[in-house]
């Protein structure tokens, strides 16, 4: 395994920084002495982050990663605030509300792909020239999902967007290896991480909050593992007990992994539909 690089004094762009895992990654990087350009479409979340972090090594940038013009303008804004960019943590993403592939509205379907996939791709492409200018240690972290490893009932479009993100990360790593670039790419496949989004999903599924929270990995712990793996330049990282279980099952038998996922979630996701069809 490569030696861990220090984050101290380096400049990182973090998307989805206003809440959840993104917020925890920002906190972790700041604790390591890094400078952070926090990006989120949620202005209130960014304002709360700025108050908590204090002045000095943090800048905030409100934008939607699906807004191509805003993404194009971001590199100059980060340069104005920090003078350079050493790394990018792609964490911004939105979920699917447990809908069937045929039932999800077209606008929502396109929004999921625009934010989760195209937003990640375009932001990475926009910042890559700045990362290439750094003498060493430039990194790109791309967050995928458990849903990219195994089909999850009610999340077909979300899973497709995250599978596309994972393949983009792996393919980008190959491109950069071939170009003998010093930029490393780490693709993270997280399982259930305790965030407001997971809390809302548990409520939708009728799962007691205490049970869901006990099953999930704390967001701060997940963020620490993501940052550590990225600083080490690891290509692929699985985070969370459930993700590791499905990773192993998928290697042994994709059909078994798919069946376990179905049995775990299907009764909750399809119960209303089954009642209507009966």
Active site (catalytic) residues:
158
- What SS3 class is residue 4? coil
Residues 127, 193, 230, 161, CA torsion sign: negative
Find, among 146, 161, 144, 163, the residue nearest to 243 by Cα. 146
Element (H, E) at 181: none
Q: Tokens for 193, please give them.
A: 């991480």
CB 128 within 8 A of CB 182: no
**Distance of alpha carbon 217 from alpha carbon 226, whole angstroms:** 12
Own/partner contacts of 207-214, CB < 8 Å, gap of 24 or more, are 207/268
Strand order in the sheet with 11-15: 58-62, 35-40, 11-15, 87-90, 139-143, 184-190, 236-239
Looking up tokens 């379907």 gives 109
Dmax (CA) of the chain: 64
- Separation of alpha carbons 126 and 111, rounded Å: 20
Closest CA to 195 of 21, 1, 76: 21
Q: Give the span between the Cα atoms of 169 and 61, in whole angstroms.
A: 24
């Amino acid at each position: 395994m490569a030696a861990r690089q220090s984050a101290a004094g380096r400049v990182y762009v973090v998307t989805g920084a206003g809440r959840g895992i993104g917020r925890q990654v920002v906190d972790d990087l700041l604790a390591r002495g890094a400078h952070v350009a926090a990006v989120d479409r949620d202005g209130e979340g960014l304002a709360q982050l700025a108050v908590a972090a204090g002045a000095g090594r943090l800048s905030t940038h409100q934008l939607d990663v699906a807004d191509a013009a805003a993404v194009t303008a971001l590199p100059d804004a980060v340069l104005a605030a920090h003078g350079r960019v050493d790394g990018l943590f792609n964490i911004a993403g939105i979920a699917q509300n447990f809908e069937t592939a045929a039932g999800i509205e077209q606008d929502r379907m396109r929004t999921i792909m625009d934010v989760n996939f195209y937003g990640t791709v375009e932001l990475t492409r926009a910042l890559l020239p700045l990362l290439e200018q750094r003498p060493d240690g430039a990194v790109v972290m791309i967050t995928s999902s458990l849903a990219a490893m195994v089909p999850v009932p009610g999340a077909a479009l979300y899973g497709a967007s995250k599978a596309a993100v994972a393949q983009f990360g792996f393919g980008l790593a190959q491109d950069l290896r071939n170009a003998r670039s010093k930029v490393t790419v780490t693709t993270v496949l997280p399982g259930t991480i305790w965030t407001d989004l997971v809390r809302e999903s548990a409520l939708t599924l009728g799962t007691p909050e205490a049970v869901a929270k006990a099953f999930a990995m704390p967001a701060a712990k997940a963020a620490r593992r993501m940052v550590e793996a990225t600083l080490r330049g690891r290509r692929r990282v699985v985070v969370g007990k459930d993700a590791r279980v499905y990773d192993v099952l998928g290697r042994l038998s994709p059909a078994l992994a798919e069946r376990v996922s179905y049995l775990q979630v299907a009764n909750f996701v399809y119960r209303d539909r089954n009642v209507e069809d009966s």
